[in-house]
A and B are shown apart, each in its own frame.
Chain A
Amino acid sequence: MKVIGTKITTNTSLFLFLGFLVILFSFTSEHFLSPYNITSLLTNISYSGIAAIVLTLVMISRGLDISIGGVIGLTTVVVSALYSQSDPLPIWLILTIGLGVGAVVGLINGWCITVLDMDPIITTLGAMAITRGLAYVISDSQSILMFEETTDFISNGVIFNVPIPILLFMLTALIFSIVLHKSKFGRSIYAIGANEVSASLSGISVNKTKMILYVLTGIAASVSGIILLGQTSVGMPQHGIGAELEVITAVLLGGTALSGGKGTIYGTIAGVLILGVLFNGLTISGVRYVHLQIFQGLLLLVAVATYEIKTRNEVAR
């Protein structure tokens, strides 16, 4: 145990686990490795993956955002409601407003958490209720159909045979891994997560950095919402219920510590892939949805317990 723990890094073991899952499911289902299934698997995970990538930064700074699901629902409703007006605005403006929804929610979250020094979990729990409630108010609890070329292209279009959601996911991952691992801004995120007071004393503007992170998370959630809207062609307030659990599980699975200051984009990508492969593989092997929910909860607990025990062993050594 000790030998394995020291020789293989977290990320390597995550990708090994991913490989194990892929081999396992290719035996349990003949359709698992078909090109169609792989494409649909990757398309499905990109929607939560985009939010997970950005949430990683927030969690490294020792924050958390559980309003993601609410923002997804509100974005789909706002965009589809604006489009279904008798004289709709141009689509680029509607989509910008959709992204603005996430930005505004993120701004309010960030303001409450930094300026008012409120607890991030409770703040975003409140934001979750508000966004979900507003989605119900705006849509009057109805589903709003939306067939539109641009959103359809964003969700179902392909460039060089690669679906656009996957490209968006890869692009987000690339940009944020450069930001996090290669820029000064990224280093300051780690510093804030490790010790906020000392980060502030060494000249990092803590509040501004955190505020930017929450706004980015909001925007990422809105992007997820727009992708979901295009995939389903319907905007409804129930969209994204439970998305926060999925996203947080993926980030924690990827080795980001809840206590902040630790985590990588590669880890989160591995976490998102593992979750996606696990759910796709289990579904295609005939496991039912009710059992998937149980698996998801167990996976979250096992992932966090593993890191907790590992950290404790390291401290003991």
Chain B
Amino acid sequence: MKSWLKGLVYGDDIVGALVIFLALLILFFGLMTPHFWSSNNFYAIIGNIPAMAIVCLGLMYVVLIGDLDLSLGSILGFTAILAVFFFKVMHFPLWLNLISCVFVGGLFGALNGVIVTKIGINSIITTLGTMAIIRGLAFWIATDVDAMQIGRITDPSFLNFARYYFPAESRLIPITLVYIAILYGASFLFLNHTSFGRKIYAVGANEATARLAGINVKRVKLVCYIIAGMLSAFGGLVLVAQLGLGEAQTGQNMILEVVTAVVLGGVLLTGGKGRLTGVLVAVLILGVIRNGMVHLEQVTDISFYWRDVAKGVILLLAIGLYSVRKSFNAKRLRTRQ
């Protein structure tokens, strides 16, 4: 094998490989379908990923400490219902709605974090439980409050939260892109350039060592869960404003795609390693596949539903490649010694 190819497959940095994969996908769909390469479709793809990108960022914090949070999709769904409730029943202005929803998301995150750190239950089982509980709460509100029967919002002052463009006339940059840039940029600074951010990596890499080094492991973990909950709530608000609709089912099958993106982006499930750029490119890859499959169904007989299969296969490939790399690197270390 060529050395650069080896570097791509076995190297520590997989962002390069992901970018090449993304480029190949764009090339493939562009050549196969007539309308894929167009500015309209570009905005369609960009318009489809904000909620995903934001929730993925949230999950990344939890995966960095070596845990997994399956309840984020439910938190997003609950927020969708809550935003409509605050808007229609409580008549909150947008800023108050935003603060309240993100606060509630943070509370759910704190609940997960407390159960995991204080009681010591495995994070996957904890969040499998809270996933059901939070989704149940969302359905409860959605079915029991009369004003919620139709979760539609048409007030532009609310919808502009995710439908605004900079500059307003030429519609060049959607505001959701600005949110993504701000959140990822802030996370970059937080994770790489603050001592608390470095502690997150330290806890994920080796909990025992981190504890011996004087880091309050439980607090670091709790904060990560809270951040994840708050980001998911924010993603939920963006989604409601984009769709003009908040339902209890919102984000029901989302978590699988979110986990896929984070894993594909090269964040180690055992914690302590992962880069924001990788996650962002992985989100784009999944977004392009989702969009491209619709185009492909137009020109060929290939069912749109293959995208679910593709998602699972990509998840397995990403994890499989990681396993192969791990055993390769272990072998390389042994031969050196």
Contacts and interface: CB of A to CB of B under 8 A. Distances in A.
Interface of A: 112, 116-119, 121-123, 125-134, 136-137, 140-141, 245, 248, 252, 258, 290-294, 296-298, 300-301, 304-305, 308-309, 312
A312 B259 CA distance: 31
Given A112-B316, A301-B129, A125 B323 contact: no
Interface stretch (B51-59, B135-143, B204-212): B135-143
A127 B122 CA distance: 22
Interface string B139-154: 1100100000000000
B320 A301 contact: no
A133 B312 contact: yes
B120 interface: yes
B136 A291 contact: yes
Contact residues on B (Cβ < 8 Å of other chain), bracket = 35 or more
A126 B129 contact: no
A245 B311 CA distance: 21
Interface in B291-337: 303, 305-313, 315-316, 319-320, 323-324, 326-327
B122 A136 contact: no
Nearest to B259: A125
Given A129-B308, A291-B136, A119 B316 contact: no
Given A112-B320, A118-B323, A245-B132, A300 B125 contact: yes
B323 A294 contact: no
A128 B306 CA distance: 14
A123 B143 CA distance: 35
B297 to A, nearest CB: 11
A113 to B, nearest CB: 10
Given A128-B256, A294-B137, A300 B312 contact: no
B189 interface: no
8 contacts: A112-B320, A117-B326, A127-B312, A130-B313, A294-B137, A297-B132, A304-B125, A308-B119
B126 interface: yes
B130 interface: yes
A1 to B, nearest CB: 16
